[in-house]
Amino acid sequence: MQNKILRIATRKSPLALKQTEYVEKKLLSLYPYLKTKLVPIVTHGDNILNKSLSKIGGKGLFIKELEIALLDNKADIAIHSMKDLPVRITKELCLASICKRGSALDTLVSNQYKSINHLPKGAVIGTSSLRRQCQLITYRPDLVISPLRGNVETRIAKLDEGKYDAIILAAEGLNRLGLKHRITQIIPPELLLPSCGQGAIGIQSRLNDKKVLFFLSRLNHINTFIEINAERAFCKKLEAGCQIPIGSYAVLRKNKIWLRGLVGSPNGDVILKGERIGSFNTAQKMGHSLANELLYYGANQILKNVYIQKPNL
């Protein structure tokens, strides 16, 4: 690829550009002669900020235009937050690499309160994530959950304007933007199980572009890939989108993988949890097994109830 410019599709948000810069630097450190060109794209999800993802079609809204750029040969690779990438990928494309994961956890950001436990009764918490909302309501039913969309800086600005007592943001997003100092509390997964793939960057490419796939293979972090493979297997078996609160979090240590999964009702009335511990080479089977267990114990009914009442998109 000495004579070819590698075209990199990315969203225009500050966090997306930071993630793309990270991948670009990794590529150039491995292939100093490589030339790159950014292809910034505004997605449909970026344009609709007054509705929650569950009401406008789900996380796929943040990647559709990037995938079209790949399919139309206007870009060679696309950079995604793994938590935004649907578990079912367009057949002409593939997930070529997953970079080493940062923190997968959520954080509390507040100007007054040190932790979720320190929040007073009736405190207003900003988040539009059903996963976060469901778990927060269960843990602190006295809190008021208020919708919050926009990029990270916009959300923090609304907090600073006094519209919320606290907001929930992903730790790694704050780390990448140099906003680690705004973190008030790293929320343990026992209280708030993360989203599938949270904290990791995925690189998508065309399935038949073998040269590009070869280049990208050296960026793949095998431990992260195994962890997220388990998480995505869990979510894929459930076949649920953003209309259902779902969390999954896998940790690989010394060839053993610990996978935790959660399915809840949107109002927090029901939360089903489970876990698996096993060999790293059974990651996908563990994800399927855990999903089947939760489906058996009530997740299937939660899914049916939500999709029967599914709002018009």
Which letter does DSSP use for residue 73 in this model?
A: T
- Strand ranges inside 12-102, DSSP E: 35-41, 77-81, 93-98
Adjacent-strand bridge partners of 35: 5
- Kindly list the distances between the CA atom of residue 141 and the CA atoms of 125, 144, 170, 189, 298, in Å, as whole numbers in the listed order: 12, 8, 22, 18, 22
Catalytic, out of 76, 84, 165, 209: 84
Instruction: Quote the Cα angle for 243-247-251, to 5°.
Output: 155
How many Cα atoms occupy the beta-carbon half-sphere of 55 within 13 Å? 10
* Residue 165 appears among annotated catalytic residues: no
Cβ contact 238:303 at 8 Å: yes
Q: How far apart are CA 244 and CA 238, in angstroms?
A: 10
Adjacent-strand bridge partners of 34: none
Cβ contact 95:202 at 8 Å: yes
Q: How far apart are CA 249 and CA 172, in angstroms?
A: 15
Which residues are the active-site residues? 84
